[in-house]
Amino acid sequence: MTVRKPLRLAFVLAGTTLLASPALAADQPQPTVKDRFDAAVSSVTGSPMADLDIDMKHVLDAMKKLDPKPIPKLSPEEARKQPTPADAVREYLKEQGKTAAPLPGVATKDTAYETGGGTQPVRIYTPEGAQGPLPVVVYYHGGGFVIADIDTYDATPRAIAKGANAVVVAVEYRHAPEAKFPAQQEDALAAYKWVLANAKTFGGDPAKVALLGESAGGNLVTNVAIAARDQGLEKPDHVVAVYPMAGTNLDTPSYKANTSTKPLNKDMMAWFYDQTVRTDADRADPRLDIVGKADLKGLPPFTVVTAQIDPLLDDGKALADRIKAAGGQATYREYPGVTHEFFGMGNVVSKAKQAEDAVVADLKKAFANEATGTTAPRN
C-alpha cells in the first residue's frame, strides 16, 4: 500500500517536529503547534503562503481588497501611489469596527535636516509626559529605496517611542531613481550626525543613541554603524535591522522560495535594485552587498529580526552570522508564519507585537548598560 502525503503529514505532526528545536536560541520565538502544522502543509504544497499565520492572512486579505497593482510593471511614480500594507491594516481595523487612529500617548514634531542633496524631513516622536533627557532611536523606513515615506511607516516609531520610553527620530531620505545610490546611505549618515548634534534640543540624550531600520532602512542602519566606526563618530549603543536589504544576491534559497509571495517577492526586489543602482557595478559595492563585501568588525551589538515568508529572510540570517563571525554581538529572531512588513503591525498581528516587545527590551537593555557603563553579554 502506498503511503500518501496526507499520512506523511500526520506522521510529521505526531513526531518530534512539534517540539521546539534545541538549536534555537533562548530568546528565539518558539514555534507553536499551529506553526508546525502550517510548516508541514507548506512542505507538501510547496507554497510559502500556505504557512501564513491567521493574523497575517487577515491583513493580506484586506490588502487584496485594495487591489494593488504589480510594482514591477509600474513606473516609480505609479508605484508610490499604490496601497501599502499600512493601508491594509487600517482597512482591516475598519472592517472589525475598530479605530484606525494612530497609537495614543505619543507627541510628534516635524522638522528637517541638511544633506548633500538639500533638506530632508524628520519626524520626532516623544512619549507624552516623559521626563527627559530620554534615550534616542534614529529610525529609517523601508520601501526599497524607491517608495514609501515617514507617513507610511508611522506605526513603528510610535510603538517604539512608547514602549522604550525614548525619543524616536524618523528620518526621510532621497529616493531612487531620482537620486541614485549612494544618496540614500549619504543621507542616512547625515541624519545620524544631525541627531547627535541636536538631540538635546528635543529632549534627547546624545550619549544614548540607537538605530532601527526596516527593509531598506535595515541597510541604512548597518551602513551608518559602519560609517560611525570608520569616521570615529559616537558609536550607536545598539542597532536593530528588521528584514534588512543586506545583499544583492537574488538567488538565495529565500529569494527562490518567495517568487510570488505577498506583499514582497523576488521580482519586486529586482525592480527596487534596478531603480536604485547607477550601473550593475554598484551591486558589488559593500554598501549594498553588505553580507558579501562589507567589513563588519567592531560594530555595536545588533538585533536582526526576520519574517519566515520573505525573500529577504536569508539576507537577515547572513547579516547576523557575518557579524558574529567578525567577533561582534548579534541577536537573531525569526518569526514564523509572517511576511515582510509584519513589524509595526502589533495592533493586529500577535507576532508583530511579540517582535516589537522583544526589540523594545533589547533597546532598554542597551540604554541601561550605557547608563551603568557595562557591556551586554555576547549572544
Catalytic residues: 215, 310, 340
Q: From CA 327, how far away is CA 338, in angstroms rounded?
A: 30
CB 225 within 8 A of CB 12: no
Pairing of strands 134-140, 167-171: parallel
- The CB density around residue 321, as the number of other CB atoms within 10 Å, is 15
Q: From CA 83, how far away is CA 92, in angstroms rounded?
A: 13
- The CB density around residue 268, as the number of other CB atoms within 10 Å, is 22
Task: Choose among 338, 300, 372: nearest CA to 59.
Answer: 338
Amino acid at 76: P
Vertex 221: Cα angle to 130 and 190 (nearest 5): 85
- E-strand ranges in 189-299 read 204-214, 239-242
CB 343 within 8 A of CB 364: no
Q: From CA 156, how far away is CA 280, in angstroms rounded?
A: 33
C-alpha cell at 175: 529616493
3-state secondary structure 111-157: EEEEECCEEEEEEEEEECCCCCCEEEEEEECCCCCCCCCCCCCCHHH
Q: From CA 253, how far away is CA 268, in angstroms rounded?
A: 16
CB 310 within 8 A of CB 258: yes
Residue 243 has phi, psi (to 5 degrees) of 30, 65
